[in-house]
Amino acid sequence: MADLLLSAVISAVLKKAANSLVQQIGEMWGISDQQERLHNMLLEIHDVLPNAERRANSNAAVKLWLLKLKAAAYDADDLLDEFCYEDLRRDAVRHGQKVSNLSHFFSLEIPALFLYKMSGKLKKVVQRIDDLVVQMGRDNDKEEIVRLLLEGRDSADLTVVPVVGMGGLGKTTLVRLVYNDPRVQEHFELPLWVFVSKKFSIGLIVKSIIELVMGDCSVPTNNRELLKRHLHQALSGRKYLLVLDDVWNENVDKWEHLRAILNCRDSRSAIIVTTRNTKVASIMGTVKSYNLGFLGDDDSWNLFHKRAFSMEVEETEELVEIGRKLVQNCGGLPLAINTLGSLMSDKNQAREWLVVLEESRIWETRSPNNRVLPKLRLSYDHLPPYMKQCFAFCAVFPKGYEMDKEKLIQYWMANGFIPSDGPGNLEMKGNDIFNELAWRSFFYDVINVENNKNNKETHDFNEVQHQLGAYVLTHTRLSLFIDFPVEYYMEKMKHK
């Protein structure tokens, strides 16, 4: 019955998203792109739903996936209804029909404010469904890591699971799926996420964990003994799951020191480590490393197809043939595939696709050992000038810095990067620029974790994205206004 209901919900949302009146309202409110993405993703899911429903009877993970999908579909349906209702209500006010005093009060609300709030909600729902589509290709990987975590739940020792793979394979995206899995969230009392990168500072890592648990930590990073006492006070007797993201450290003594600090007695806790380096994995892991493989041909094409044909591009035999050649050049790397798919999503003509295919081959010859960077550089070259400025500015932030979306848009506005031509709110335009850059894979995945106490939308660069941003920043003459210490960003800009 539940499965039949899900099929009915998906069909109803599909029908509503394709309704001509709803599409007209979407165009008037400026959300037609998100509507189109929603419609195409649900179409893709609708095609695999019968098989998923059959598997759900014997596979708990698939059953859970269906439940998440149902919740997201209901939310999408409610949001489309809200836009339709708001349009009808404003139309009634314009024609002098009576509405309640409270409704009339809200009808005076600035339309831009309503749009900003509601389009943000719609984007998040679309992102949730997008994550579920991605999960279809990495479902086996996710289940195996969840199994490794939960199998060690009866051990008093600290379980460390290394996830290993080259840049662009989606290690962090996969671990985020594991991290947000309800079974994992239910088992571990404290979910914690720390970005490490190349500087493996024990003091900084410990202090970051304390701040995540306690909200603040005034202890200097060089006072390890005091940090250790504060950490044990915060973690003692509590099961935690700690993600150490992007670890490069090969120093055994440093890791053993940190491990001794983290190993609170009888906590039955676990750590997930993401790394490109098999030596790092062998040093840190207490279980066999999980080596993340490349996507297969079918999953690679499905990922590209979802991006490239999700908006205004009609799927034709000619475009499919060119698209498959583009996907072949990506070598099964999700970040490269997403980047090219997003780039093609606003190109309708075969000649445009052929130009990108040729440019892609040229960039490949310039960076033969890196399949992701050429795709990002190619996508960057196709950005309008003001978006290039906005992207370049982000490289001022150090890698691993969680960029607050709202504050970043304010920085863009202060530096005059957002064009002010024509009507419209600058903050809304900044939001559109941000969403477009994120859609094109210039930002890391949204960090959507429980320890984000302020419930703010934060983003980051990964290694390759930051590499491109730093290159562009040092070769672009930008006059920047920012409240970082002058010494910090002069160091960033000294090679201009």
pLDDT of residue 241: 94
Tell me which architecture the domain covering 385-493 has in CATH.
Orthogonal Bundle (1.10)
Q: What is the mean pLDDT of residues 195-214?
A: 88
User: How do strand 403-404 and strand 458-459 relate by DSSP bridges?
Assistant: antiparallel
Which of 229-238, 366-375, 451-460 is predicted least confidently? 451-460
Q: What is the mean pLDDT of residues 212-235?
A: 83
Tell me which architecture the domain covering 141-291 has in CATH.
3-Layer(aba) Sandwich (3.40)
pLDDT of residue 450: 42
Domain boundaries, the chain: 2-137, 141-291, 297-381, 385-493
Q: What is the mean pLDDT of residues 179-193?
A: 88
pLDDT of residue 249: 93
Q: What is the mean pLDDT of residues 96-100?
A: 54
Reported as a single tens digit per residue, the pLDDT across 278-301 is: 999 999 998 889 998 888 888 888
Decide which of 22 and 480 is more confident: 22
Cβ(182)–Cβ(142) under 8 Å?
no
Residues 6+ apart with CB under 8 A from 293: 165, 169, 332
The whole-angstrom separation of Cα 154 and Cα 183 is: 15
Q: What is the mean pLDDT of residues 98-104?
A: 47
Confidence of residue 318 (pLDDT cuts 50, 70, 90): very high
pLDDT of residue 334: 84
Domain 2-137 indexed as CATH 1.20.5: yes
Say what the pTM is.
0.66
